[in-house]
Every structure is written in structure tokens, then in C-alpha cells.
Amino acid sequence: MLYTFKSAASADVLMLGEPAKKLVALIGKDPADTQGIVTVEQLPGAIARLRAAIEEDRARQAELERQRSADDEAADREAGRSGMAAPVGLAQRAWPLLDMMEASLKEETPVIWTT
């Protein structure tokens, strides 16, 4: 399922189902809803929750990187695996929505989503 996030303050943000549901939950909305709105009044709280989740994800990823040894990296190179095969993290998925929400707050316009 494809989610479309819309705001008069920026271009649309398109996102696939499960990652979109996770972000909807993180901003304090029901992930089972196929459409919804983040009002101007709700934007500051939603932005704060999303920023906190991004920081937690970055900290978790940094810790995982510290735990990897040089031997692990050499084995990955030998097996033909590179950093390009790494999964996309929450922080990477959340930035477009966070940018939209911040622009929406500045222009005092809501963010809506539909599937």
C-alpha cells in the first residue's frame, strides 16, 4: 500500500505501507487509519516525537557500527557485501516527512495522509 503525505507547504511525500505506518504511529496517530491529519496545533508535538525517534535510531545505528570489528568488515568485502546493501534506517525514511511537517508549521498549514 502506498501512503501519500500532503501539505500546501511542500511537495507530496510518498511512502510504502509498513514504513509509513511506523511513522504515523511515531507522530502520535493511529497507524491503522488509511487517512488522517496532523493539525497545525498538533505539529509541534509530532515534530518533537519524530526528532526524538530519529535521534534514537541514529544512536542505535552508531552503537551497531562501533560493535562491528575490522574482521567483520573484511569478511563482508570478501563476500562481496558493501555498505550499499545496508537497510534503510528510520532516520533516512523520516527526514522527508519531518521536513514537510516543519515547513507546514512555518506556514501554519496541516499535513494530511491518504492511502
Hey, what's the cell of 59? 544512536
Q: What is the pTM of this model?
A: 0.80
Nearest residue to 110 (alpha-carbon basis) of 19, 35, 55? 35
Distance of alpha carbon 54 from alpha carbon 69, whole angstroms: 25
Domain residue ranges of the chain, discontinuous segments joined by +: 2-74+85-114
The 3-state DSSP class for residue 13 equals: strand
- pLDDT by residue (tens digit) across 55-104? 998 888 888 777 766 566 666 677 666 655 566 788 889 999 999 999 99
Distance of alpha carbon 104 from alpha carbon 115, whole angstroms: 20
